[in-house]
Amino acid sequence: MATSCDQLKKIQGHPCFGGNHQKNGRMHLAVAPRCNIKCGYCSRKHDCANESRPGVTSRLITPAEAILKVREVMASPLVGPIIKVIGIAGPGDPLANEETFETFRLVGEEFPNLIKCMSTNGLMLPDAIDRLHGLELHSLTVTLNALDPAVGARIYSHINYNGKRYSGIEAAEILVANQLEGIRRAVGYGMTVKVNTVYIPGVNEDQVPLIGRKIKELGAFVMNIMPLIPQADFAHVAPPSPEALDAVRKRNELIIGQFKHCRQCRADAVGLIGHDVKAGEPLHALPLAM
């Protein structure tokens, strides 16, 4: 599907999809605590103010608290003008939490000009895509780490789907099928889709170009190859070096556009990429990029 003029305009304002990340900011709302899969590289057990990684938040908030926070931030003369995107990225999976849909509804009613964005593991995406379209979700990120279920089984220990727990290759088969179908349907609805792939040395490096080709075929807009953060089941695995990561991105750039400014943000990030308001700081404390 061709990218419309409206999509291109919004992408220019979206720092996580290739827009100007030094001038345009985003606000993540940590309203989604529950998760439906167990990723081997994910740990949500601790938080400190200087920690920046997915799954981290200083505190969970309700949809009612979220809209109050959006009002506060948008009313700030320093921070409000730079916020272009309202995102929900956890700390669990947004689609495993009804609070996600209520929060997007409240934001859409009061701040219709803000881009609504969500990050998901994709397990529930085919089931939820019609609702997301109805809420006018513009940008969608799906984390897809393997196409081969045998590789996926090394990354995910289990999934919870439709009231049943699956593990091993069976779990990975369901997850991958739903991820690909969800991406296909999101593109069909005109959503701008980014795919995140966590590069885990010794586990999924051969999957990365295959993922790139497949998502290009499905109509994804951009790919974001992220380095492993060694923790949880993969605490013993060394992350790729900056040189190795750069080489993988350059090779895959021949297949699909690559997003290279990701900082693997917290679930409650507010501000510019790399220049966030830290938890507990007043809004006037935001360090703006030059």
Give the model's pLDDT for residue 90.
84
pLDDT of residue 257: 93
Determine the Cα–Cα distance for residues 126 and 144; give it in Å rounded to an integer: 15
Per residue in 255-271, pLDDT (tens digit) is 999 987 655 555 676 65
Residues 6+ apart with CB under 8 A from 233: 40, 41, 157
Domains within the chain, CATH numbers bracketed: 5-274 (3.20.20.70)
| Cβ contact 153:207 at 8 Å | no
For 122-149, what is the mean pLDDT? 97
Residues of the chain with pLDDT > 70, as a percent, come to: 77
Indicate whether 201 pLDDT > 90: yes
User: Is 34's pLDDT higher than 50?
Assistant: yes
Question: What local confidence, expressed as pLDDT, does residue 261 receive?
Answer: 67
pLDDT at 53: 44
| Maximum Cα interatomic distance, the chain, rounded to a whole number of Å | 51
The predicted structure's pLDDT at residue 80: 81
Q: pTM of the prediction?
A: 0.83
pLDDT reported for residue 45: 55
Contacts of 188 (CB under 8 A, 6+ apart): 1, 219
Give the pLDDT confidence score for residue 71 in this predicted structure. 95
Q: Given a cut of 80, is residue 70 above it in pLDDT? A: yes
For residue 244, pLDDT over 50 is answered with yes
**Which residues, at least 6 apart from 254, have a Cβ–Cβ distance to it below 8 Å?**
none
Name the burial class of residue 231, with classes exposed (0-12), middle (13-18) and buried (19+) by CB atoms within 10 angstroms of its CB: middle
Q: How far apart are CA 86 and CA 139, in angstroms?
A: 10
220-236 pLDDT, tens digit per residue, is 999 999 999 998 899 99
- Has residue 176 got a pLDDT over 90? yes
CA 290 to chain centre: 26
Helix (H) or strand (E) holding 67: helix 63-75
Q: Average pLDDT, whole number, for the chain?
A: 84
> What average pLDDT does this structure show over 51-59?
54
Contact 90, 30 (CB under 8 A): yes
Q: Is the pLDDT of residue 19 over 70?
A: no
Whether residue 246 is predicted with pLDDT greater than 80 in this model: the reply is yes
Looking at residue 195, what is its pLDDT? 97
Query: Parallel, antiparallel, or unpaired: how do β-strands 270-272 and 275-276 relate?
Result: antiparallel
Q: Is the pLDDT of residue 250 over 80?
A: yes
pLDDT at 265 (0 to 100): 59
